[in-house]
A and B are shown apart, each in its own frame.
With several copies, the nearest count.
Chain A
Amino acid sequence: MALTREQMAQRVAQELADGYYVNLGIGIPTLVANYVPDDIDVMLQSENGLLGMGEFPTEEELDADLINAGKQTVTMATGASIFSSAESFAMIRGGHVDLTVLGAFEVDVNGNIASYMIPGKLIKGMGGAMDLVAGADNIIVTMTHASKHGESKLLSNCSLPLTGKNCIKKVLTDLAYLEIKEGKFHLLEYAPGVSIEQIQSLTEGELVISDNVREMKIA
């Protein structure tokens, strides 16, 4: 069974460690915040200039001057700091964020990622995504393994305009957790009830089955 969005977020959350500064993109990545293990503490970086993003505000706490990068009203966690956009991206570009989680349309065997534009159809802009993928060492891309029409999103070569080149090493899809290295996708984990054959058939780029491949554990 393909993972739900919530399950994908749960699996990503297992990659968190105590003391991590984390940037979560819009969509599934945002949900990761709901599954931080009880025994660890992470701080969420929001690229509009907030380190230590808290939960949504109550009606009483609502403040137009306090939003996240998704433009949602938020609160500050204890120990938060506020800074300018230039400082925020100094943090991101300078590699100070420990983990970045973001969505994509496509990734390929060379770690290229396309996530911001479908020519002629969708031009929302890249926002901070190009800086995030260029600045982070540790990135997890979350997306469905294939489109609704069964077209693989794990490719030999991205077909859409790139957000970043040679920068993605880990991908979590609704079917699998994969590592990208040496020009191949390495299957590390398959979702419960999903067969390796099914993953193989939906992975257009070269796929290697890791020696240690195992079934994904979702709490």
Chain B
Amino acid sequence: MSGFNKVVTSYQAAMAGLTDNMTVIAGGFGLCGIPENLIEEIKRKGTKGLTIVSNNCGVDDFGLGRLLSDHQIAKIVASYVGENAEFERQMMSGELEVELTPQGTLAEKMRAGGAGIPAFYTATGYGTPVGEGKEQRSFNGRDYILEESIRGDFAIVKAWKADTYGNLVYRKTARNFNPMAATAGKITVAEVEEIVEPGMLDPDQIHTPGIYVDRVIQGTFEKRIEQRTVRASL
């Protein structure tokens, strides 16, 4: 009866098997919904030559940005460099290979990777640098480009709650890329705020079925806010 228990109790165990030059797909948008402790574990391990697939690369001192200082990342597939100075510097200097990918295409490439769709057509990027070198094709009089799917050796995601079987529920916009990332890893690791017993989550309301998840760990999170915007209380 233990075959579905995905719970691990150390971050070392959570990221066991990650080795140099692997591809890691990470959930999160900006600093929201990022697997912050799993990223820290990658930093601690010192794994090098990684290809990271993630919408952003964190900030200089938090999130995936933490892997830049020790040059652990060889290549990143992302839609937005954002306000990460070290990311921009490494990209400009050529130390870091960057494949800028439109946000929607990136999400769809992850989903396709998990769903056994090797490639799909999209109008996004047609006639732009993103479309260069890619097949172009017309359907019903409109032009599209061919985009191939992405899979990772690891996928690392952050959810709100999990049951021990790895069923996941996300909270608010911390969902973002996490559900697709979770489907696209050969090994998918989820860190969560709370682990409950199977049967405690409503089957109708599970965002990521446990079949996609190999390991679950309960963590504590800083949840740093990137742009703290507030209005006056009444």
Q: Which residues of A contact B (CB under 8 A)?
A: 17-21, 40-43, 45-52, 55-60, 62-68, 70-74, 76, 78-97, 112, 117, 123-131, 134-135, 161-166
Contacts and interface: CB of A to CB of B under 8 A. Distances in A.
Interface in B203-234: 203-204, 206-207, 209-212, 223-234
B2 interface: yes
A123 B203 contact: no
B103 A83 contact: no
Contacts of B130: 126, 130
Contact of A67 (B2, B3, B115, B227): B227
Interface in B161-189: 163, 165, 167, 171-180, 183
14 contacts: A48-B29, A59-B233, A65-B171, A79-B210, A85-B103, A86-B107, A86-B110, A87-B209, A89-B105, A90-B116, A93-B122, A128-B103, A128-B104, A130-B105
B227 A134 contact: no
Interface residues of B, number: 80
Given A92-B104, A127-B80, A84 B4 contact: no
B230 A56 contact: yes
B226 A71 contact: yes
A58 B230 contact: yes
Contact of B115 (A46, A52, A93, A129): A93
A90 B80 contact: no
Given A85-B176, A134-B123, 5 more contacts: A18-B1, A55-B231, A58-B232, A83-B209, A90-B183
Given A56-B231, A125-B82, A82 B104 contact: no
Contact of B223 (A50, A52, A64, A126): A64
B173 A82 contact: yes
Contacts of B13: none
B51 interface: no
A125 to B, nearest CB: 4
B3 A19 contact: yes
A49 B176 contact: yes
Given A125-B81, A127-B79, A91 B209 contact: yes
Contacts, number: 251
B152 interface: no
B133 interface: no
Interface string B79-92: 11110000010011
Given A49-B176, A79-B4, A125 B127 contact: no
Nearest to A96: B211
B217 to A, nearest CB: 18
A51 B33 contact: no
Contacts of B206: 81-83
B35 interface: no
Contact of A71 (B31, B81, B106, B123): B31
Contact of A41 (B1, B29, B176, B180): B1
A90 B88 CA distance: 29
B115 A94 contact: yes
B140 interface: no
Nearest to A120: B92
B65 interface: no
Contact of A82 (B31, B91, B203): B203
Contact of A18 (B2, B116, B204, B233): B2
B228 A73 contact: yes
A164 B104 contact: no
